[in-house]
């Protein structure tokens, strides 16, 4: 579960991490009031579960409360990185001497937490050369020791009071990481302002399987409406940004379908694994979810084992008769009860393909 920036900063503050003065608001009028309380120049930041907000037009600076209200009016309701902005964080504009990067996450290969730090923080951290990034794997039995924080600080080139503050911050951040069952705790940028270190941003992701013991954390629903509907009926669905709706029966074949769509120059609108044995009614509900996203084409890729081809065909006919299907449907159908499934499809105006690449090529052609 990802936390919004303002939630992450509230959590940071509880642990003693210095964060800017700020307030989350949802209207331009509230933004004006928040800026008046803060006094001085402010930053208006969209609250979405995504990075690259600055490049996406989701962050604005304001010198007066009136400008803060105007910035909020522009950002609220806009779409930034594919998310509709429903709230903004109004906070003080910091005096920045230098920007650092700091994070703790899980290294799956090493099976340990790894601390990642760099003296080059900011929007383009992904482009920082590997040699300029410090990585330190943490032994969960020993924890993060003082000698390790001093070594990390030295490798970062930090000295004096800033180095001491940085060492303290590392200990605090790891304590938060452990106690809140986090998968990621990230500060980018971590601002040096005089002798102070300030978390100018906050990303916190908590392990979903540990939420039962994190009662004091706010619940954030990350799924889109379509993803929630699919989850409710036990299907694996992830919304993407293409125009070809995809349904297949198994995670591997679904990924393969997405790959072959891209191979032919198309873009998938989603990942939908209908799984084995979904049945006629479940398949029909899955198709209705796909239609709700208004794709240009629907591509169904079924290699029937547990899934019966006649169930898939009957589900498609049921949706056609119940609601209508206003877009082309390309279906590859092979496996259990294949002959019966193909017969049902042909009787109702659908053509079935035997080869996945032929179906994908046709879907891309029609979508384009």
Q: Which residue in 87, 113, 111, 128 sits closest to 185, CA to CA?
A: 113
Across the beta sheet with 22-25, the strand order is: 22-25, 88-92, 42-46, 59-62
Number of other residues whose CB lies within 10 A of the CB of residue 278: 24
Q: DSSP string covering 118-129, please?
A: ES--STTGGGS-
Number of other residues whose CB lies within 10 A of the CB of residue 29: 12
Q: Is 101 a catalytic residue?
A: yes
Number of other residues whose CB lies within 10 A of the CB of residue 341: 25
Number of other residues whose CB lies within 10 A of the CB of residue 49: 15
Going by their DSSP bridges, the two strands 329-335 and 352-353 should be labelled as parallel
From the list 5, 91, 101, 237, the catalytic residue is 101
d(CA 16, CA 169): 9
Q: Is 6 a catalytic residue?
A: no
End-to-end CA distance of the chain: 36
Please state the φ and ψ torsions of residue 340, each to the nearest 5 degrees.
Answer: -65, -40
Task: Give the CA-trace dihedral at 227, 11, 69, 97, to 10 degrees.
Answer: -120
From the list 30, 91, 165, 186, the catalytic residue is 186
For residue 74, the surrounding DSSP H or E stretch is helix 65-75
Q: Which residues contact 259 (CB under 8 A, 6 or more apart)?
A: none
User: From residue 107, how far is each of 135, 149, 191, 235, 351 by CA, in Å?
Assistant: 11, 19, 25, 28, 47
Residues known to be catalytic: 101, 186
């Amino acid at each position: 579960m990802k936390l919004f920036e303002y939630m992450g900063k509230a959590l940071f503050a509880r642990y003693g991490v210095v964060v800017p003065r700020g307030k989350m608001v949802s209207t331009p009028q509230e933004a004006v009031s928040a800026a008046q309380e803060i006094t001085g120049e402010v930053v208006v930041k969209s609250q979405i579960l995504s990075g690259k907000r600055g490049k996406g037009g989701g962050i604005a600076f304001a010198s007066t409360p009136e400008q803060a209200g105007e910035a909020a009016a522009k950002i609220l309701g806009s779409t930034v990185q594919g998310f509709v902005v429903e709230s903004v964080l109004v906070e003080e504009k910091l005096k920045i001497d230098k920007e650092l990067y700091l994070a703790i996450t899980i290294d799956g290969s090493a099976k340990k937490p790894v601390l990642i730090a760099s003296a080059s923080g900011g929007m383009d951290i992904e482009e920082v050369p590997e040699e300029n990034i410090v990585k330190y794997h943490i032994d969960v039995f020993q924890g993060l020791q003082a000698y390790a924080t001093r070594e990390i600080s030295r490798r970062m080139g930090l000295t004096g009071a800033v180095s001491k503050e940085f060492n303290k911050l590392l200990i605090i951040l790891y304590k938060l990481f452990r106690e809140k069952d986090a998968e990621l705790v990230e500060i980018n940028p971590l601002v040096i302002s005089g002798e102070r270190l300030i978390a100018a941003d906050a990303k916190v992701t908590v392990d979903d399987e540990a939420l039962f013991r994190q009662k004091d954390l706010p619940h954030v629903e990350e799924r889109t409406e379509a993803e929630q509907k699919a989850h409710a009926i036990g299907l694996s669905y992830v919304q993407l940004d293409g125009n070809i709706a995809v349904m297949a029966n198994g995670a591997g074949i679904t990924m393969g379908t997405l790959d072959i769509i891209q191979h032919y120059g198309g873009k998938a609108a989603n990942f939908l694994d209908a799984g084995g044995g979904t049945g006629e009614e479940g398949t029909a509900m899955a198709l209705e979810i796909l239609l709700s996203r208004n794709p240009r084409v629907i591509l169904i890729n079924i290699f029937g084992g547990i899934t019966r081809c006649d169930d898939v065909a009957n589900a498609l006919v049921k949706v056609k008769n119940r609601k209508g299907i206003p877009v082309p449907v390309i279906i590859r159908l092979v496996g259990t009860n294949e002959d019966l499934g193909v017969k049902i499809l042909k009787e109702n105006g659908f053509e079935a393909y035997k080869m996945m690449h032929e179906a994908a090529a046709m879907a891309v052609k029609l979508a384009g």
